[in-house]
Amino acid sequence: MASSLSERFLAAQTLLMLALLCLLILFDLFEISLFLILSLVGLVLLWEFMSPFHVRPRWFSDFRRLVAIGYVAFAVYALYVIYSTVTGQLGA
């Protein structure tokens, strides 16, 4: 049974996130921010590697919005960490 591109993409992203989670826990490096950043990087890499060259599926345009939201969230978090470090008030 052939699966659609979106189903394969979802399966690959799920496996990537599970592998990242297992590796981070195994090496005792798990932090939610690190996990989310690595998941976002993996999402973008999978998007580039799995997208067909001749035509973009319709759902890829919605996917761009999701990636943009991820980048904005990462930028906000990075600015928070920088601000907290400079002011010496890094929260728990």
The secondary structure element, H or E, covering residue 56 is none
Indicate the burial class of 70 (C-beta count within 10 angstroms; 0-12, 13-18, 19 or more): middle
Collapse the DSSP code of 58 into the 3-class scheme (helix H, G, I; strand E, B; otherwise coil) and give the result: coil
Closest CA to 71 of 55, 47, 89: 47
The answer to whether residues 44 and 67 touch, using CB atoms and an 8 Å cutoff, is yes
Query: How do residues 16-73 score in pLDDT, each as one tens digit?
Result: 999 999 999 999 999 988 898 899 999 989 988 887 777 777 777 788 888 889 889 9
pLDDT at 12: 94
Band the pLDDT of 2: cuts 50, 70, 90: low
Q: Where are the domains of the chain?
A: 5-87
CA 28 to CA 16: how far, in whole Å? 18
Give pTM, 2 decimals.
Answer: 0.74
